Chain A
């Protein structure tokens, strides 16, 4: 008898736990999910849909403007595979050490109506291999 009673208590506790968990997961998934896209995939979407997105790409060799005081950092983000597809990105804030032309970066922010991307965070990838080409650029 005691055995049975315990089982039902454990069952109730498990249901409560699972319910809480499901609620947490559901609310988190519905409110905090962000599009994770390559540049080409982002271009294919309606900009209005991408109010909150994370883009993966490479900093294009041209079109990089460093901030001069009040201005934003502006650069073109090109697709990893198709260099012809680019998105204009603007960003204000700390620029990571390894940011430069040709660096693989991740930007988080939202797509503007004009198809440009305004980034709230800018991260550069942390490569385990050091590319010699980059070093010789100096």
Chain B
């Protein structure tokens, strides 16, 4: 049966290859009239991958340990939910999931009106590019990363899933990221197709035809990254939401490129600018997604996330380089359209600044992440960069983006400043920043970010309110306003919870108070006990401020029977929109003292609120809205 499943993958690969080849031959021979087989091939590919995935799920459900994959990631005691979601726990399974998702998106696109309205030649080009990508991923599945590899005789039990991953949040996090990485494939293939096709001038712009795909992919990516932060903060008890780890950086690079692309797209849509740049940038987004997969799966960089050395790295890198050259060549060979940039002190100029900063951030993060590999070129002792480097270089650039975000809504495309609304907003923001400085939050750089975030929050909230009241205010859509408001709240959260976080490892003796950041902490009780399924150590820490009780922190350490030898930290927080108290219990030391990592995190919840807004608001923009230019 698994031989059949493997055969399905082979069929998918040959189908994609054949379709890509056929499409290119037909374009060259100008046989572009009528329906082509190349346009129907995606059905076969999707069906094969779907059936193969069903077989893998079947094996996971029935605990068929003959498959290496099933034996590596599940065992007899694993719940059925986690057994099935082990589909994307390991590399071969996640590659299959990736291929299936991208292929399904292609099939969905084929059923849309946008696809049927394409000129025949453009459609052939689209399928040629799309099937090249599919063929490559099918090749990875059949050659380097086969989920249906078998070992006989089958072991009696599997090796089980890492208990840290046995958490519903952690189960949704990887597929969201994969959908985000893969989701830009359809838009970028379409952009390349329109740029190549001789009938390209007749098409409506690719970003309108694939708008839904762009927006959903970005939403998935944003939500996936945010969920990872939340998991690190609440579940792992690392005490932070972002550690500049290579795997975290890998997911941020496509996000930054995608976000930059959306802004150059806005300029193309509204002002007819940068059409060729956009074709390249959307392809770069997809390639950055491939690169993220490469970074995570190849083992080229040592990271906290160990995925181990795997043979997928080298072919992925070759494919990435080839696609990069191809898309750059196609994008910049196409004829120049549109006009040159005008006044730099306008919304146009600010957007250019934003886009450059976002791309610079992506490039810096890429370079810094790869630095241990790059520095090997000239030294025996490779050097890497730690969190200090990233904070030092990336945070000023982030502040620059925030400042642009604050000013952008107040400026018109041509550079007119909306003084009636802008001046009060800027004044209020200056007051807010002054108040922060007065309260002791006076470091210059976070202060600048605070000013920018307050101005952006004020301006965007005002425009949203006017929009909801039905008053004509700005040409931003509600979804865009909400998403940027989320970003401004996010910036505010980072500007405070990053530099002003107060953290300490404290050893508690019962009854003796400790102090941290103006809070008084007293260990009231330390219990050891059993609950069904696990043993626990629970500390009850009473928190007081100025003699007033704030609340009781109950961090826990658990050892589950199923996963003996591994401890699990149950973080506890005293949630607050101001200063949140966070405690993660490390255990008991030799003298019976409870050791806990306690921190005061100012405004950290605004980061989660802002992030959630950012992940949800773009969905509002899914409803198509005609701009003036398009309506004419």
Q: A-B pairs with CB below 8 Å: how many?
A: 151
Task: Evaluate contact between B385 and A28: CB separation under 8 angstroms.
Answer: yes
Total count of chain B residues near the partner, CB < 8 A: 65
7 tightest A-B contacts by CB? A68-B590, A36-B384, A138-B564, A32-B389, A125-B306, A69-B591, A97-B567
Complex CA–CA separation, A93 to B239 (angstroms): 13
Any A CB within 8 A of the CB of B566? yes
Task: Evaluate contact between B565 and A134: CB separation under 8 angstroms.
Answer: yes
Any A CB within 8 A of the CB of B380? yes
Apart from A36-B382, A69-B591, A128-B73, 7 more pairs, CB < 8 Å: A33-B385, A34-B386, A71-B590, A127-B162, A129-B90, A130-B160, A134-B566
Chain B residues, CB < 8 A from A75? none
Complex CA–CA separation, A66 to B587 (angstroms): 12
Task: Evaluate contact between A100 and B565: CB separation under 8 angstroms.
Answer: yes
The 8 Å CB contact of A17, one of B341, B353, B567, B584, is B353
Task: Evaluate contact between B590 and A129: CB separation under 8 angstroms.
Answer: no
Chain B residues, CB < 8 A from A9? 344
Any A CB within 8 A of the CB of B151? no
Give me 16 A-to-B residue pairs in the complex whose CB atoms sit less than 8 angstroms apart, sorted by A's number.
A6-B344, A24-B397, A32-B385, A32-B392, A36-B384, A68-B590, A69-B589, A95-B586, A97-B237, A108-B386, A125-B303, A125-B304, A129-B73, A130-B160, A132-B160, A134-B565
Task: Evaluate contact between B565 and A104: CB separation under 8 angstroms.
Answer: no
Task: Evaluate contact between A68 and B565: CB separation under 8 angstroms.
Answer: no
Given A10-B341, A25-B393, A69-B589: A126 touches B386 (CB 8 Å cut-off): no
Any A CB within 8 A of the CB of B89? yes
* B329-369 interface (Cβ within 8 A of A): 340-344, 349, 352-353, 356-357, 360, 364
Task: Evaluate contact between A24 and B381: CB separation under 8 angstroms.
Answer: no
Task: Evaluate contact between A28 and B566: CB separation under 8 angstroms.
Answer: no
Task: Evaluate contact between B382 and A35: CB separation under 8 angstroms.
Answer: yes
Total count of chain A residues near the partner, CB < 8 A: 55
Give the Cβ gap from A77 to chain B, nearest Cβ, in Å. 14
Main SS of chain A's interface residues?
mixed
Chain A residues, CB < 8 A from B591? 68-69
Chain B residues, CB < 8 A from A130? 159-163, 563
Chain A residues, CB < 8 A from B303? 125
Given A29-B389, A37-B381: A7 touches B340 (CB 8 Å cut-off): yes
Task: Evaluate contact between A129 and B162: CB separation under 8 angstroms.
Answer: yes
Task: Evaluate contact between A41 and B380: CB separation under 8 angstroms.
Answer: yes
Given A7-B340, A104-B306, A135-B565: A129 touches B159 (CB 8 Å cut-off): yes
Any A CB within 8 A of the CB of B383? yes
* A84-115 interface (Cβ within 8 A of B): 93-95, 97-98, 100, 104, 106, 108
- The CB with the most chain B CB atoms within 10 A, among A6, A34, A106, A130, is that of A130
* B359-404 interface (Cβ within 8 A of A): 360, 364, 371-372, 375, 380-386, 388-389, 392-393, 396-397
- The CB with the most chain A CB atoms within 10 A, among B164, B381, B565, B589, is that of B381
Task: Evaluate contact between A21 and B586: CB separation under 8 angstroms.
Answer: no
Chain B residues, CB < 8 A from A66? 590
Give the Cβ gap from B229 to chain A, nearest Cβ, in Å. 15
* A29-65 interface (Cβ within 8 A of B): 29, 31-37, 41, 44-45, 49, 54, 56
Any B CB within 8 A of the CB of A13? yes
Give the Cβ gap from A127 to chain B, nearest Cβ, in Å. 5
Chain B residues, CB < 8 A from A67? 589-590
Could you list which residues of chain A lie within 8 angstroms of chain B, going by C-beta atoms? 3, 6-7, 9-10, 13-14, 17, 21, 24-25, 27-29, 31-37, 41, 44-45, 49, 54, 56, 66-69, 71, 93-95, 97-98, 100, 104, 106, 108, 123-132, 134-135, 137-138
* B67-112 interface (Cβ within 8 A of A): 72-73, 75, 89-90
Q: Identify the closest chain A residue to B342 (Cβ).
A: A6
Task: Evaluate contact between B305 and A126: CB separation under 8 angstroms.
Answer: yes
Task: Evaluate contact between B304 and A123: CB separation under 8 angstroms.
Answer: yes
Chain B residues, CB < 8 A from A132? 75, 157, 159-160
Complex CA–CA separation, A68 to B143 (angstroms): 52
Chain B residues, CB < 8 A from A37? 381-382
Given A67-B590, A134-B565, A135-B564: A33 touches B307 (CB 8 Å cut-off): no
Q: Identify the closest chain B residue to A32 (Cβ).
A: B389
Q: Identify the closest chain A residue to B155 (Cβ).
A: A132
Complex CA–CA separation, A102 to B388 (angstroms): 29
Chain B residues, CB < 8 A from A44? 380-381
- The CB with the most chain A CB atoms within 10 A, among B380, B383, B590, is that of B383
Q: Identify the closest chain B residue to A66 (Cβ).
A: B590
Q: Identify the closest chain A residue to B303 (Cβ).
A: A125
Task: Evaluate contact between A54 and B386: CB separation under 8 angstroms.
Answer: yes
Give the Cβ gap from B386 to chain A, nearest Cβ, in Å. 5
Any A CB within 8 A of the CB of B597? yes
Chain B residues, CB < 8 A from A54? 384, 386
Can you list, as one digit per residue, whether each of B272-314 has a CB less than 8 Å from chain A (1) or not (0)?
0000000000000000000000000000001111110000000
Chain B residues, CB < 8 A from A94? 505, 584, 586, 595, 597
Chain A residues, CB < 8 A from B397? 21, 24
Chain B residues, CB < 8 A from A69? 589-591, 593
Task: Evaluate contact between B90 and A28: CB separation under 8 angstroms.
Answer: no
